[in-house]
Structure 1
Amino acid sequence: MHVVINGDYKRHRRRLVEMITDFDRSGEMLVKGKRNTIKIFPLDGKTVNIKAFQIPNAVNKLAYRYLRKSKARRSFEYAKKLLALGINTPEPMAYGEERNFWGLNKSYYLSEHLTGQFSIRQPLEQKNFTNREEILRQFTRFTFHLHEKRVWFLDHSPGNTLVREDSNGQYQFFLVDINRMQFKKLSRKVRLNNFARLSADKKALSIIGEEYAKLTGWPKKATTRAILEADQKFRAGRKKKQRMKRLLGRK
């Protein structure tokens, strides 16, 4: 087992390694998905969130071992980079990789488990969500901040931004599931297409478009229209993929 631990957490190395090696037999289950599993473990007054990525196929086993960084390693390194840029994400603690000559098997990403938050999915989908418009406007400012820092979050979908209200009534946003991102200057098209995966209603996307136009100085109508068009294109592509899966007998 190859394990890399972040800063102060090195004093907990033995316990963190135990969490990884005993992952299948211990811990509190949070998510049991087809691809990935998430459990939480106590650690010295904190809670550790461990995401276990599925075992890659034969080709990717070799690729992740010799050519590309594992999803766990990318999550760990991207989290440190985001925090250095002033962008919130749960504190990275460690990552672990089960690997051998033939490639990568499982990999694990360990981070601080957040509490007292909700996902941006709720105000995006619930039209009567308390303070919905203000949350969406602040979320848009957060996304603008990402773009200005040259962060392209490829999985900018409703479940991957957590929201927490602070004592001043402001909202803090935390990125999760961060193994797919790029760091480069973003074009206008890439920026506006980055809202497509939100799959929100027209009202929510119009609020986002109006706020983003205000922040960038771009024309409001054209900005909103581009976001709505990107949303429709993404929905159409997703429906096409779902039809293909049904034709192939896959769920």
Structure 2
Amino acid sequence: MKHFEINEQYLQQQSVIHEFVDNFDVDGIPFGDQDRNSLKLFQIGDDVINIKSFRVPNFFNRLAYNFFRKSKAQRSFEYANKLIALGVGTPQPIAYFEFKSFLFFNKSYYVSEQLDCDLTYRELTLDLNFPNHEAILRAFTRFTYNMHEKGIHFLDHSPGNTLIKINNGSYEFSLVDLNRMEFKPLDFETRIKNFSRLTVHKSMIEIMSDEYAKCINEDYDKVYNLMLKYTKAFQERYYRKIRLKKRVFFWKKKYANRPTRSPL
């Protein structure tokens, strides 16, 4: 069974979009990181669209997505529409598709416009001498503050998920990878914790803390100490998880290579 919803602006291209999704495995141009999910670009006339194929979830989520929870593709589509309604940048949502059986959820796809950008936030973390680095970082912090003021809690607020367009000395920001968001009033600690995944550089934390303290009319030291605390806590969890995965991989490899005894 195939379930889908298409933005009314793209109804005339509906058959072409269906064809792209149905032939996703063999058509399209691969784009970006392909580790967890697969992204491909397709052409519709003069427009380029981006189709994200979410991998088949685990057994329990295949049941959950079929009966109890919205899929990542559906959430991405709905959250993108909410962001646009709230005046927050994100690529134009076009459609989402879900493939299900009677019992199990299988694959899903999110279709959006392909948005050109000059950089992502990640480049700011990799090159501290990037032109106008501080100005971009302060503008990004104001963007995040405005997002918080609108009751948007972007749970995947991480380096690769903000696209940045430079336009005559001003900066436009757009969010991608939208399937984990909350829409609610945010308290002070939640706001500051939302910066924890962005960078390990203290110099960047200092600038973001200074700009956010000005936006929220709060003491700089209070903002900085809390932002640093949450950043360190996130990094500790992140590297602990990596160490655990390495141990599991080591033991799996060790036991997989153990010689088996021949029967007597």
TM-score, scaled to structure 1:
0.97
User: Mean alpha-carbon deviation: is it higher for 41-50 or for 239-248?
Assistant: 239-248
- SS of 2:31's equivalent in the other structure is strand
Equivalences for residues 65-84 of structure 1 within 5 A: 65-84=66-85
Amino acid of the residue matched to residue 125 of structure 2? L
Question: In 2, Cα distance between the equivalents of 1:116 and 1:203?
Answer: 25
Equivalences for residues 233-244 of structure 1 within 5 A: 233-244=233-244
Match of 2:220 in 1: 220
Question: In 2, Cα distance between the equivalents of 1:149 and 1:31?
Answer: 30
* 1:158-192 per-position Cα deviation (integer Å, ceiling 9, x unaligned): 000000011x3100000000100000111111100
Equivalences for residues 16-35 of structure 1 within 5 A: 16-31=17-32, 33-35=34-36
- Does the 8 Å contact 2:117/2:163 carry over to 1? no
- Percent identity of the aligned residues? 44
| Aligned-residue CA RMSD (Å) | 1.3
- SS of 2:249's equivalent in the other structure is coil
Amino acid of the residue matched to residue 211 of structure 2? E
- Does the 8 Å contact 1:125/1:201 carry over to 2? no
Residues 1:98 and 2:99 are matched in the alignment: yes
Deviation of the 1:102 alpha carbon: 1.7
Match of 1:137 in 2: 138
Match of 1:203 in 2: 203
Question: In 1, Cα distance between the equivalents of 2:13 and 2:34?
Answer: 28
TM-score, scaled to structure 2:
0.92
Match of 1:159 in 2: 160
Give the gaps of 5 or more residues in structure 2: 253-264
Match of 1:175 in 2: 175
Amino acid of the residue matched to residue 178 of structure 2? I
- Does the 8 Å contact 1:124/1:136 carry over to 2? no
Amino acid of the residue matched to residue 173 of structure 2? F
- SS of 1:207's equivalent in the other structure is helix
Q: How many residues align?
A: 250
Give the gaps of 5 or more residues in structure 1: none
Question: In 1, Cα distance between the equivalents of 2:88 and 2:39?
Answer: 23
Which structure has the larger Rg over C-alpha atoms?
2
